[in-house]
Structure 1
Amino acid sequence: MFKSLFEAAQNSTFKSPFTSVNCQSAANPSEVVSTPSAVPARLNDVQPRQHSSHHNFAAAAVAEGDSCEFGSNHYFLLCGLGGIISCGSTHTMVVPLDLVKCRLQVDPAKYKSVFNGFRVSMAEEGVRGLAKGWAPTFIGYSMQGLCKFGLYEVFKKVYGDAIGEENAFLYRTGLYLAASASAEFFADIALAPMEAAKVKIQTTPGFAKTLREALPKMTAQEGISAFYKGLVPLWMRQIPYTMMKFACFERTLELLYKYVVPKPRADCTKGEQLVVTFAAGYIAGVFCAIVSHPADTVVSKLNQAKGASALDVAKQLGWSGLWGGLVPRIVMIGTLTAAQWFIYDAVKVALRMPRPPPPEMPESLKKKLGVTGNEQ
């Protein structure tokens, strides 16, 4: 399935959901072709693709200064690598806060607040105890990041190409939501086993100190189902979170450049662009934490309570109990989301990957709607 999606995205006749190349007569090959993209395309930049039984159309060459072609398999794989680096590193860095947050959710009588949770945890297990669960966190969220960011770029291109350039602009928020939800569906399947092991290590006293110790114990007690019993509530938590994370980020970034940043994105340095990325990521992270928190509480409690269902746990916790640990999660998720977007964009800069600007209304749509200038 993944392979077919990559091929579909790579071989699409659209360059991206927001740009297109309008080919004219080959009589004047040096003539510049007008496009709605921020980067002009020239006919002599288009090279013929080797014909095969499947493809017989031209493909745009790699833009000058870029290490790969936008929408190519190479591009999508590098996006996945950026996801591994951004998600794996950031989630591992906040393991101590995540540990206290999980304990607040499953045992609020013992861990009464964030500071109390840190104090009690350190008194019982020392400073090293705050790092419990770091291994499954690093492995699980690296795998999740690969699918989350890599497949988001794939689905965004595939869906955008399917609905056409004009609709992709008009309904771009829906496009972001659909692409991110699709990507997260697969990302959670990759994450679920390690997430179950992490929560078990962090919230069940005396169960296990390391991942190597936890895995065989979980298998012996509940079989393979131990690693996937939290998948549905994980989807309930992560899919809304990721939809908000990507859609809110994309639209916030667009609005920041339009109304807040005093100069066009093209005139900003790479460092200035990364600062804007961080700001948009933090704003998105706050909304992400609020939207996904009840399901996060259920996941934490579910992996602690053997044999219970998600509905049983939700009923047991009650409405107020579902919001336990919200404040530390807002701090954690806000910072984490901002850092992830910053690192992901920084990886793109470091690897010289294509970084399209915020979407602009296609010229064809401007003519239809009678839009002039920068009005959109």
Structure 2
Amino acid sequence: MTVYTVGTADLKTLRDQLWSAVTQRDEFAAADLVLGALDNGMDAESALLDVIAPVQLKVGAEWAANRLTVAQEHAASAIAERVVAALAHHSGARHTTPRLGRVTVACVEQEWHVLPARLLAEVLALRGWEVDFLGAQVPTAHLVSHLHSSGADVVALSSSIPTRLPAAHGAIAACQSVGVPVLAGGAAFGPDGRYARLLGADAWAPDARTAARQLADGIPAPGLASGRLQVDDLPHLADQEYTLVARSRGQLVKQVLTQLEQRFPAMAGYNEHQRERTAEDIAHLVEFLTVALYTDDDELFGTFVTWTAGILTARQVPARSLRPALDILKTELKDFPRSIRLLDQALAALDGTLAATGTHPGALT
């Protein structure tokens, strides 16, 4: 086993060495590296946020660029989680500050990306909070039950994928209904926190340090608002487009896949794996269209479409195949005006992306 040693100030070297360890699937080397840095004087919060977190961001970026497989990405993430657990029990990570209060940290229902929440939980513990870390995919009913028994002062709610926003909305309202304020965080809420505000969160933070400062400053408890409905926060839901499209997602995926085979001749040569991946891509398109209807946000869907184009290109799949899929969705949803608006905006964004890469938007062969 290779033992990594670093100086406490050389963050770049430390990150580079940790990257080598996690991509070589060497859990022991990764742990030795981080714990050794603590022994050499690095504070635990810096190890968490200035070393482990940036390496994990690089893992995601390398997966998106098709330089890491899904299995490699999962292995690297698993090692990061185990290193964080080892760090939490190191003597250099033990807090000496007085307790500030109790906070519950949880991922919203159906959200499995747990590391951002885990990093926040550890930072808050270091700063003097009693932390109940509930982990990934916490059903809202279980979260509220925990709040009743734990006496938490605040909930820190994490979500990384925008398609979890409807679940996050329900969790925010449920926590507030029992008088507990909600601090939202994670990529799902937007880089500027727009979806946290839209869904009625009491506060939003872009990173763990900001979250810790906001919690220390205090987040006022919400007024009790029993019986609050989704449409109270999002009046556009009254048109029922979100509900109707969400209920027909499975059928929409089947319709798009069937018609895409006729419009995109290259699919005739796809093997079974390629066909499965195409069906998954279509399902993601429909899922993101659905959540864009929930938030009534053009940018959410358009950004996902252009991001998907980049992912496909990195995997040597023609990104232009997205256009006929979007066109088919327009035909299938012709009676839904907000859906048509979102699809038109996404098509314009996609055409701009294709033009920038020198691909003619209408070229299918």
Query: Do they fold alike, i.e. is TM over 0.5?
Result: no
TM-score (norm 2): 0.25
Report 1 or 2 for greater relative contact order, CA contacts < 8 Å, sequence distance ≥ 6.
1
Relative to total residues, which structure has the larger strand share, 1 or 2?
A: 2
